[in-house]
Amino acid sequence: MLVAALVMPAWAQQGAPIAIGPQVQNVSDISATICWATVAGQVNYAPAGAEVTPLHAYEHHSVRLQNLKPGTTYTYDVLGDGTDHGKGAFTTAPQGEHPFSFAVVGDTQNRNNLAHRPIAERIIAEKPDLVFNVGDLVSDGLDILDWETFFQVNADLMRSIPYYAALGNHDREARYFFDFFALPGNERWYSFNRGAAHFVVLDVVGPYISETDPPPSKGDMALFFQAGAEHWRRQMEWLKQDLEDSRQAKYVFVFFHYPMYSVNTKQDIPRDMRQHFGTIFQDHQASVVFNGHNHNYHRAVAGGVTFVVTGVSGPGSTAMPQPESVKYAGGPTHMRVEVGPQKAVVRAIGLNGETVDEFEVAPRAASAAAPTSAK
């Protein structure tokens, strides 16, 4: 076991407490990022004579560790004060193809969500190498209290396991998302490889416009829709190139918030998603596309591609199975995926640890794994 030494900033040398974190993110075979936050200020407010509510402003810290050894466990300490408060550990990815596992959660919204903590604890016990959240991390992305709860629930998990997130509609494109996480690329859409697998995380929610009183003007709305169109254009251009460049991957796993196939009675969002993406995932033989938003479990198959909806919040609304539906279940679930050389095994796991669904994914066909010939 190796120890990652960090240069201590002045506040750490003075023993200032950590408010959020530390957490390890963006781990590769030779690098990792350690993030944490300290309280930069506080406002106490309350109606006269009532209980005071404190609101915190944060200072964010991020250190990129580089030139690490593949397949090696490192410990780290961002305080160096003799306590365990600033300590954690992580393991870099081995080089080359190797077996590994990852977990998928979604809709971890904190408000009245009693399933988030036990599922986070179960994922810790399962010891995955990676965790993905398909969006709606919090109930209101503009409320710092929600983010404080999110990181408190996930504190032990994120100290040692890299956590990759997609934006959901409840996250409201909040600055907090970008401040608290250190994700690859532009943090809205990004990809990376591990072993024989390629991972793609997308932002299907796009720009957020706040509800105001009075409502936004026609000019503001026109700019909002223009920004949304540009967001999709740039993302799709990037996605097509990314998938084309990843044809040699045995597996391609995709993560974003809104579902492409749903058993909910309202079908407008899935229709919009299918219109946006067309057959791109079928054309590039994606292994599994993971979505959230609906508070249920759903597995569908369309054009040979498996689409999964999973969510910690639940139960969902009344189910209306679609022609593509294979399996549906209400109640909170998370996913565990074990990636091996000959197959990937995907399990949907219920709140009490029961297997809700299980299926296998074969490596992609040789036609997808081979580079395309130049036209």
Condensed to tens digits (0 to 9), the pLDDT of residues 219-254 reads: 777 777 788 899 999 999 999 999 999 999 999 999
Judge if 1-95 and 96-369 fold alike in CATH terms: no
Percent of the chain residues topping a pLDDT of 90: 71
Residue type, 99: P
Question: What is the rounded distance in angstroms from the CA atom of residue 201 to the CA atom of residue 106?
Answer: 13
Is residue 68 within 8 A of residue 74, CB to CB? The reply is yes
Q: Could you tell me the pLDDT band of residue 217, with boundaries at 50, 70 and 90? A: confident
Superfamily of domain covering 96-369: Metallo-dependent phosphatases (3.60.21.10)
Mean per-residue pLDDT over the chain, rounded: 89
Is residue 275 pLDDT above 70, yes or no?
yes
Condensed to tens digits (0 to 9), the pLDDT of residues 124-156 reads: 999 999 999 999 999 999 999 999 999 999 999
**Per-residue pLDDT averaged across 310-331, rounded?**
82
pLDDT at 270: 94
Condensed to tens digits (0 to 9), the pLDDT of residues 353-364 reads: 999 999 999 999
Q: How many CA within 13 A on the CB side of residue 149?
A: 18
Percent of the chain residues topping a pLDDT of 70: 90
Q: Could you tell me the pLDDT band of residue 214, with boundaries at 50, 70 and 90? A: low
β-bridge partners, 333: 350
Highest mean pLDDT among 109-113, 122-126, 312-316, 365-369: 122-126
Residues 6+ apart with CB under 8 A from 262: 269, 270, 293, 294, 298, 309, 322
**Per-residue pLDDT averaged across 186-202, rounded?**
97
pTM of the model: 0.91
pLDDT at 1: 52
**Per-residue pLDDT averaged across 284-304, rounded?**
95
Matching residue, tokens 């990759």:
164
Residues 6+ apart with CB under 8 A from 225: none
**Long-range CB pairs of 347-354, under 8 A, 24+ apart, other chains included:** 348/297, 348/299, 348/308, 348/310, 349/122, 351/115, 351/118, 351/119, 353/122
Question: What is the rounded distance in angstroms from the CA atom of residue 170 to the CA atom of residue 174?
Answer: 9
Is residue 12 pLDDT above 50, yes or no?
no
The CATH architecture assigned to 1-95 reads Sandwich (2.60)
- Domain ranges within the chain, ordered by starting residue: 1-95, 96-369
Binning the chain into helix, strand and coil, the percentages to the nearest 5 are 20, 30, 45
Condensed to tens digits (0 to 9), the pLDDT of residues 154-185 reads: 999 999 999 999 999 999 999 999 999 999 99
Condensed to tens digits (0 to 9), the pLDDT of residues 22-55 reads: 999 999 999 999 999 999 988 988 888 888 888 8
Handedness of CA 312, 318, 324, 325 (dihedral sign): positive
